[in-house]
Structure 1
Amino acid sequence: MVELHDRKKPAKWPDLIGRCIVSLILVLLTQSSQFLVPHFFSDLSFFIQLLLSAMMLLTVASAAGWCRRLLRVRSSAPAFVFFSVLFVWLVYIAFVRQDASLLMNLLFNGQIILLIFGLCRMLFSDPGLVSHNPSPSDAIPQSLVLEIDTHHQDIGLGDRLRCCPICKTYVKGFDHHCPAFGNCIGHKNYVLFMVLLFGFIWTEATYITCLSQYSAESELLDGDGARLEVNFSRKVARSTMLFSILQLLWQVAFFSWHVYCICFNIRTDEWIHWKRPKVQ
């Protein structure tokens, strides 16, 4: 075998902790912006609230990106995903759990635990990294397929070996680099990626179902001194429902895109660079 693959130098612990703190702040800002929609526009239709929620997400994302560049701080996309999942879980435990059935409680809590486990598994999974010892004459474009002698590597020319522009390493069956999962998606973890993506869709759908039942039941509650608490809990639940629906929309579209790629034997990187291999 040739020299071990090149990876970016792992960040030090103080840097990682700093990125996680920034990501946590971004999650709190995002969820706070979502809370403003049902708080100030509760009389509008649900569709209008959904549009306002999407606009708030874009505004917060743009403002957060500008502030991060101005302050020269970095965040962590996997940490943002983790804290977003954790926030939804806490909202469910605090407000929704008591009105959900035992079966729904077991189902949703189990889904969240599996999601967190899947995120950790994906973060440290091997996407299909291969060893490559570059020489000065190896100045080839990153989007081109790296041809390797099959006598030195157990990889054929039809295995779609490509260089990830983010990690600066060669990945067998490279599809794309997923910032949300903090890893490349390749031959070895593509199935895990699809399972995890489907898990997010299923969990979001389950959460929306639980929130719908909670909203229907909470509307029947009324009493002296309890109305403020009910209104606050409903607003928090409605804000997370809007956020979950927006997440579900792009996740379904993204999952459908990958199903399309599987059906037509094409990778995301190949489609972007218009490099579809011949079907073997």
Structure 2
Amino acid sequence: MQQIQDQRKKKVLVSCFKQIGRCTVSCILVLLTQFALTLVPHFFPASSLLVQLTLSVVVLVFVLGLGRWCRRIVGVYASAPALVFFNIIFIWAVYIFIARQAIPYFISIVFNIEVTLLILGVCSILSSDPGLVTHGSSDANKLIETKAFGVEAHNKGSALLKRVRYCKSCKAYIKGFDHHCPAFGNCIGQNNYVLFIILLAGFLTTEASYIVCSSQFSRGSWILGGTWFETDLAGSLVVSTMLFSLLQVTWQGVFFTWHLYCICFNIRTDEWINWKKYPEFQFVIQSQPGESFTRVMFKNPYDNGYLQNVKEFLSVKG
């Protein structure tokens, strides 16, 4: 008995050290990335915004490639959620210690509240239940029964198994599975989909606010369009984090728009990508006389119109 307890304690310690190592690597990678980005406004202060954004992408690709190479040598991989968290903290620190001095008091309070809520949202979704079908639950028992009788989980006659999908990353069945989000280290499913959309909107709002604040600071300090000597480290940090936020807003805006589309048409990302795996999305068109093949077309059986789809999304309960 004592030996079993010792083994458990050892596993817990190993797991803790591994998590500490991954967080440390993530922190170092964020610092390396953010300070590498400062080279763009520092050496190219007079370049256009488009040129600086392009150069920032090149720097990000180079640093991330270097990080992967180093991680293979060290053997410790970064944690995606930790990368997200440390990037938020870094940008917040740049705002508090540098950019805040040029921002009106009320706007500063609003931005700090946005960042605080964003951090709370990230912490919430990390530990949220996406709709896991646990062993021994009524959903799991029903799933086993339907498999035993050869009935697929998408059978619309079974409310419990409606849209239960399998996540390869978590190796678990998730109700209303949309996708596995590496950035949050969790699946996005029926129970946390609303939180995920709110969090996406929070990222866009907070980053857009930072872009406005950093732009105001840059104009007030004559950093943008200045010379190499006029752009110091503090100013370069403000501009580089603004460029980073612009890149983030760009891809997150596309991602957010996609999920709004999914909500309006009541479809999940996994279902749209892998619709050929799920028979309820397959509409078979019989071959015409003289033809030797049949065509399979996509058809969404869950689309009940925009208003009803949005209403269903907002009324989902875990």
1:278 equivalent in structure 2: 301
What TM-score, normalized by structure 1, do the two folds share?
0.84
Which AA in structure 1 matches 2:262?
Answer: C
SS at match of 2:130: coil
Deviation of 1:229 (Å): 8.6
Identity %: 51
Deviation of 1:42 (Å): 1.5
8 Å contact kept, 2:45–2:231:
no
When the two chains are superposed, the root-mean-square deviation of aligned CA atoms in Å is: 2.8
Deviation of 1:130 (Å): 1.0
What TM-score, normalized by structure 2, do the two folds share?
0.74
Structure 2 counterpart of 1:164, from 164, 167, 183 = 167
Q: List alignment gaps of at least 5 residues for structure 1.
A: 1-8, 221-226
SS at match of 1:42: coil
8 Å contact kept, 1:22–1:75:
yes
CA 91–228 in structure 1, closer or farther in 2 if over 3 Å, else same: farther
Deviation of 1:67 (Å): 2.1
2:112 equivalent in structure 1: 109
Deviation of 1:259 (Å): 0.6
Corresponding residue pairs, total:
257
More displaced 10-residue stretch of structure 1: 250-259 or 68-77:
68-77
Distance 2:155 2:50 in 1: 53
1:19 equivalent in structure 2: 22
1:257 equivalent in structure 2: 258
Distance 1:278 1:96 in 2: 51
8 Å contact kept, 1:19–1:74:
yes
Distance 1:12 1:47 in 2: 44
Q: List alignment gaps of at least 5 residues for structure 2.
A: 1-10, 282-299, 305-318
More displaced 10-residue stretch of structure 1: 61-70 or 17-26:
61-70
Which AA in structure 1 matches 2:273?
Answer: I
8 Å contact kept, 1:218–1:230:
no
CA 264–19 in structure 1, closer or farther in 2 if over 3 Å, else same: same
Structure 2 counterpart of 1:131, from 134, 143, 148 = 134
Structure 2 counterpart of 1:61, from 28, 46, 64 = 64
The answer to whether structure 1 residue 99 and structure 2 residue 122 are counterparts is: no
Which AA in structure 1 matches 2:81?
Answer: P
CA 256–247 in structure 1, closer or farther in 2 if over 3 Å, else same: same
Larger RCO: 1 or 2 (CA < 8 Å, sep 6+): 1
Which AA in structure 1 matches 2:268?
Answer: R
Which AA in structure 2 matches 1:278?
Answer: P
Q: Which has the larger radius of gyration?
A: 2
SS at match of 1:184: strand
2:124 equivalent in structure 1: 121
1:196 equivalent in structure 2: 199
1:224 equivalent in structure 2: none
